[in-house]
Amino acid sequence: MSDLSSATILIVDDSPENIDILGAALVEYKKLIALNGEKAIKILQDKKPDLILLDVVMPGISGYDVIKLLKENEATKDIPVIFITSLSEAQDEAKGVELGAADYITKPFKTEIVKARVKTQLLLKQQQESLWQLNKALMEQNEIIESEQEKSQLLLKNIFPAKVIEDLKKYGKTDPQVYDEVSILFLDIVGFTKLASQIQPIDLIAELNEIFTKFDEIVDTYSCERIKTIGDSYMAVCGIAYPNDKHARLLMSSAIEFISFMKYRNQNLKSGQHRFEIRVGINSGSVIGGVVGTRKYIYDIFGDAVNVASRMESNSEPMRIAISERTFPLLKDFYDFEEKGVVSVKGIGEMKIYFLSDKYFKYV
């Protein structure tokens, strides 16, 4: 049995005799006394009892008026009220219930009935408060779970392409997949090894983080995806998450934004920042994409198309974009290029290389 000895009951009755009888019957509880409705309202401004025994017919403010005021007040609306009154007609009891009374006892009352009804209402209130606390704890726990799920989702987005995340959510696994029409981009920072020896590691990481974060925003804008970063190298692809025939153009738009951003950044360096230049290479073709590893997972893409994109980048020039002869037919009607001869690609042989005209870069 729950302990109710700490409960406080407000007795509101204009009859001192009734108050004495009720007080004696409810000796195990703490009590507040009000001889009329006005005094009850005043008491409730400062104190919040666990239950109210309320007479209906009183001079001044009636019990019905008191309960109306209680139910309109956010601080007191949930306090259970038991009417104790000489009004015994059915419509009187119905009115009390309609106004929000928890129970209705008619005079002359038996103290055993009052004690039983009071105990019942206090137990109900105690259980309701326990349920409210439990619901509150559950809501707080759900908020924590939702927050952790959002963090997990953001972490997954940083590790896997959208297609892989959807597969994991739907099927609990993801299988390697061949993508026939994609474009791949590689870039790296020119002279990074030398720069790294001249810059404090914490400053270098901060600047790389700023640059690569901006690159991530750019590839998202053009429906492309960053696959990975390795040191100063950045790899992105278009056509995996959202297969389409514009993958080369979308990736080229990303590359142009990369270099435009770096030009802007170099012209507006903040205190402590360093000038960086990048080289970019793009190739198009077929790749295999999948999750590798069993303890530390990483999503990666493989195939000759990836190797060629890497060779385009290594044969590019500072702040320029080099594309392969595989990508050239996909872009030649939309951009101007300069043919820069041929490069040797291991396992493939010689391939033509083209540089995008500098006129597309934004100068600020």
- Spatial separation of the C-alpha atoms in residues 109 and 22, rounded to whole Å: 10
Task: Give pLDDT, residue 296.
Answer: 65
> 281 and 310 in contact (C-beta within 8 Å)?
yes
CA neighbor of 318 nearest in space, from 263, 261, 359, 278: 278
Strands (E), the chain: 8-12, 30-34, 51-55, 81-85, 103-106, 177-189, 225-230, 233-238, 278-292, 298-302, 320-324, 337-345, 349-356
CATH topology of domain 160-360: Alpha-Beta Plaits (3.30.70)
pLDDT < 50 regions, the chain: 1, 364
Q: Under a CB-based contact definition with an 8 Å cutoff, are residues 207 and 201 in contact?
A: no
Which is it for strands 103-106 and 177-189: parallel, antiparallel or unpaired?
unpaired
Peptide bond into 80 cis (omega under 30): no
Pairing of strands 225-230, 278-292: unpaired
CATH H-level, domain 8-133: superfamily: Response regulator (3.40.50.2300)
Q: Give me 55's structure tokens.
A: 């007479």
Rounded CA separation 321/360 (Å): 11
CATH 3.40.50.2300 domain span(s) along the chain: 8-133
Q: Are 254 and 236 in contact (CB under 8 A)?
A: yes
362 to 236, 334, 356: CA distances (angstroms): 21, 17, 13
At 339 the three-state DSSP class reads strand
Residue ranges of the chain that CATH labels 3.30.70.1230: 160-360
The reported pLDDT for the residue numbered 1 is 43
Looking at residue 225, its amino acid is E
Q: Which residue has the tokens 């019957």?
A: 25
How confident is the model at residue 295, as a pLDDT? Answer: 65
Task: Name residue 75's amino acid.
Answer: A
Q: In the prediction, which pLDDT does 211 show?
A: 96
With helix as H, strand as E and coil as C, how does 135-187 read? HHHHHHHHHHHHHHHHHHHHHHHHHCCHHHHHHHHHHCCCCCEEEEEEEEEEE
